[in-house]
Amino acid sequence: MKYVISFALLLLISFGVAGCNSTPQEFRNMYSFGDTFVFNDLEIKFSDNIEWLNTNDSAENGYNKFRIPVEIINLARYSSRITQDYFTIFSPDGIAQPQNWWSTNESDITSMPRIRNGTSFTSYMYFSYEGRGNYVVEFRRLAGWDTLEPVEVWIPIR
């Protein structure tokens, strides 16, 4: 009986205490304006400068939009770029924004050229304004790249 209690206490200490001190994975890689992080050998920094865009063009679906400058530095030994497969933008309601309406703009981050090692490039990430709240850009691992941890960038719009 003494060994059973000791073993149960050891399990409680090992898993219970470690669980209280550890942070869930989704909170370890959260960033906001001005933060710099590395994803897939690209150093990425979101500016805190929001630029508001209004359009009534039917090709743009009449959305009110905003864009944020994003600086990218290639840390890899090979040329690289960001594609629309790297991230998803979520509105404050938690629903993913369609990717097709902004990817036609040549200043969009997904239209950036490949850049060589050590090169920096500044482009824009476009958002459809869906009201006040936290917009989240989720950078995630691509299929087969199991070593990349997901990263979230929170953009608070008040």
Question: 87-97: per-residue pLDDT in tens?
Answer: 899 999 999 99
**Global pTM value:** 0.72
The pLDDT, as a whole number, for residue 20 is 29
* Range from 3-7, 9-13, 19-23, 72-76 that averages highest in pLDDT: 72-76
Q: Is residue 114 part of a domain?
A: yes
The pLDDT, as a whole number, for residue 86 is 84
Q: Of all helices (H) and strands (E), which one includes residue 10?
A: helix 2-11
Q: Does residue 43 have a pLDDT over 60?
A: yes
Count of domains for the chain: 1
* pLDDT higher at 6 or 142: 142
75: which residues sit within 8 A by CB, 6+ positions away? Answer: 38, 41, 42, 43, 117, 118
The pLDDT, as a whole number, for residue 107 is 84
Q: Is residue 21 part of a domain?
A: no
Q: Is residue 69 part of a domain?
A: yes
The pLDDT, as a whole number, for residue 110 is 86
Q: Does residue 14 have a pLDDT over 80?
A: no
- pLDDT band for position 4 (cuts 50, 70, 90): very low
Q: Is residue 55 part of a domain?
A: yes
- pLDDT band for position 108 (cuts 50, 70, 90): confident
How much of the chain exceeds pLDDT 90, in percent?
40
CATH assignment of the domain containing 140: 2.60.40.1240
Residue 76 gets which letter from DSSP?
Answer: S
Q: Is residue 59 part of a domain?
A: yes
Query: Where in the sequence is the domain holding 50, given as residue range(s)?
Result: 28-157
Q: Is residue 8 part of a domain?
A: no
Q: Is residue 32 part of a domain?
A: yes
The span from the CA of 125 to the CA of 83, in Å, is 11
Q: Does residue 106 have a pLDDT over 80?
A: no
Q: Is residue 141 part of a domain?
A: yes
